[in-house]
Amino acid sequence: MTDRATRIKLCGMTRSEDVQLAVALQVDFIGLIFATRSPRKLALAQAADLRVLVPPSTRVVALLMNNARHDIDAIIARTQPDLLQFHGDEEAEFCASFGLPYFKAIAMGDTADPLPAMAAFPGASGFVLDGHGAGEQGGSGKRFDWSRLPRDQQTPILLAGGLNACNVAQALRTARPWGVDIASGIEVAPGQKDAAAMRRFVAAVRAEDAAHQAAIG
């Protein structure tokens, strides 16, 4: 993908066929969820079986929410994620202490300015701005006002919440995020992806990227 291409993260994988399709679609990131309260939570053995299906060209993200340190250590040892993603009350020092790059999720389900929350994590490799409220799980499918996405940030921002193949082009035109992150918008049930919806979503992102590139030359 070019530097201008929108990065694509398909999240909440639980089945081998969904992981294999995501790899075939050449998405940038696959999310495996270990948050205790998530309906897409994986057991370590299940996650390890999925991990071996992912080549180096696709990066694996382990999603966490207030997991204990020993649990995270076990997740890293067993699944070898490329990045961690924190959704809870974790402090910046804790997030950075595992020796891996990390994304920090920022709840956009209220009217608060996300910039102060982002500033509290100067070591983050990226931020996932999601439509859920503070303290809620990600992957809720809740949309927020995309125009609230900060512009001209040096740290990458992934847009999440309420995305699907029908609205992602408008989301990209409105916010121009570095990446998009989707879970429920490509599912028939939590953790069970819809192959056609996955294909349509990826195609819609790439079509809008191509149109944008053509427009700006």
Residue ranges and CATH numbers for the domains of the chain are: 7-216 (3.20.20.70)
In this predicted structure, what is the pLDDT of residue 11? Answer: 97
Assess whether pLDDT exceeds 70 at residue 111: no
On the CB side of 189, CA atoms within 13 Å amount to: 4
Q: Which residues contact 171 (CB under 8 A, 6 or more apart)?
A: 146, 159, 163, 177, 180
Q: If residue 187 lies in a helix (H) or strand (E), which one and from where to where?
A: strand 187-189
Average pLDDT over residues 45-52: 98
Average pLDDT over residues 150-169: 93
Assess whether pLDDT exceeds 60 at residue 128: yes
Instruction: Report in angstroms the alpha-carbon separations of 162 from 17, 132, 136, 178, 212.
Output: 24, 10, 15, 17, 22
Average pLDDT over residues 68-93: 97
Q: Which residues contact 85 (CB under 8 A, 6 or more apart)?
A: 31, 61, 62, 63, 64, 102, 103, 104, 105, 128
In this predicted structure, what is the pLDDT of residue 216? Answer: 87
Q: How confident is the model at residue 141 (pLDDT cuts 50, 70, 90)?
A: low
Assess whether pLDDT exceeds 80 at residue 168: yes
Residue 45 vs residue 111, higher pLDDT: 45
The β-bridge partners of 158 are 128, 179
Q: Mean of the per-residue pLDDT values for the chain?
A: 92
Backbone angles phi, psi at 3, to 5 degrees: -60, -25
CA 211, CA 129: separation in Å to the nearest integer?
A: 24
Assess whether pLDDT exceeds 70 at residue 53: yes
CA 83, CA 64: separation in Å to the nearest integer?
A: 11
Q: How confident is the model at residue 202 (pLDDT cuts 50, 70, 90)?
A: very high
Angle at 146 between CA 140 and CA 152, to 5 degrees: 125
In this predicted structure, what is the pLDDT of residue 174? Answer: 93
Question: Do residues 186 and 14 lie in contact, with contact meaning Cβ atoms separated by under 8 Å?
Answer: no
Q: How confident is the model at residue 3 (pLDDT cuts 50, 70, 90)?
A: low
Q: Helix and strand tally (H, E) in the chain?
A: 7, 10
